Amino acid sequence: MVQTKEFFEKMLAELEERLQKANKELKESPSGSVVRVKRGNYYSFFQVEKREGKRIRKIITNNDELINALARKTYLVAEIKLLQKDISALKHFCQAYEEPVYDKIISMLPERMLKYQLLSPPPEDWATQDYPQSSYMSESKVHTTTRGLKVRSKSELLIAEKLYEHGIPFRYEQVLSINGVQFAPDFTVKTQSGKLVYWEHCGLTGNKKYMEKHKWKLSVYEEAGIVPWDNLIITYDDKYGILNLSIIESEISNKIKL
């Protein structure tokens, strides 16, 4: 699961890149500013510059390109001011913020409490702890959930959002080792009872090679005791690449929220 701090650090990097571009464009803008003056029923536009302490005004009413460039310059100045404020706020947040996860909270407890037996992390904290996540073709994770998690397909995006909606904690592509071979189920869900349920979604149902690998994976899962009638959910896109939301709801109700 994507961490809150990681999400805002990425946002900070994006804002800093945007600020760099805005500053570059501002530097290349025409000198001076634009002023609009109403004369009767018409407006006149002037380019205003300061030269040797004097305010110089030149009419540019018929120069649409220059008017627009100077208007854009005014916008850039305001944009840069706001970006600088937001970047400063995000830097302060990222430096001060600590994820409210189980391990961090336990480390804050007084020593006298540590002698008592503590409960295992609740499911929602389990979902936010660090875990081995598949790094296979990470560049293909192009869809972003409302909580900042990067997933590979629109169908996986729908599944993640439905799990959020039902308050079900999960891990995305957590590495699972079976007989020395590593797998990465799309979703690993931990129920309130502590039971792990794995969710595999198949999108390329029309791809023979993809489906052959999928069938092989299911046979390995079965040998390891991961089966559809107990702890495995399998969903498929239809021939048009669409996953029906009612199927997701049904699987959640029948396999997870028992």
What percentage of residues in the chain have a pLDDT greater than 90?
Answer: 41
HSE toward the beta carbon, residue 11, CA cutoff 13 A: 17
DSSP string, 200-242: EEE--TT-HHHHHHHHHHHHHHHHTT--TTTTEEEEE--TTS-
Distance CA 163, CA 172 (A): 11
CB 138 within 8 A of CB 112: no
CA distance 217 to 186: 13
Buried b (16+ CB within 10 A) or exposed e, 62-99: eeeebbeebebbeebeebbeebeeebeebeeeeeeeeb
Low-confidence stretches of the chain (pLDDT < 50) are 1-2
d(CA 65, CA 213): 59
Determine the residue type at 106.
I
Do the bridges between strand 143-144 and strand 150-151 make them parallel or antiparallel, or are there none, so unpaired?
antiparallel
Look up the pTM and report it. 0.54
Beta pairing, strands 42-51 & 54-59: antiparallel
- β-bridge mates for residue 143, sequence order: 151
Q: Give the angle subtended at the CA of 120 by the CAs of 117 and 124, to the nearest 5°.
A: 150
Q: What is the dihedral of CA 216, 175, 135, 131, to 10 degrees?
A: 170
- The DSSP bridge partners found for residue 187 are 172, 199
One-letter identity of residue 154 = K
- CA separation for the pair 132, 173 (Å, rounded): 8
Read off the pLDDT of residues 126-142 as tens digits, 9 standing for 90 and up: 777 778 888 878 888 88
Tens of pLDDT, residues 90-102: 999 989 988 776 6
d(CA 258, CA 253): 6
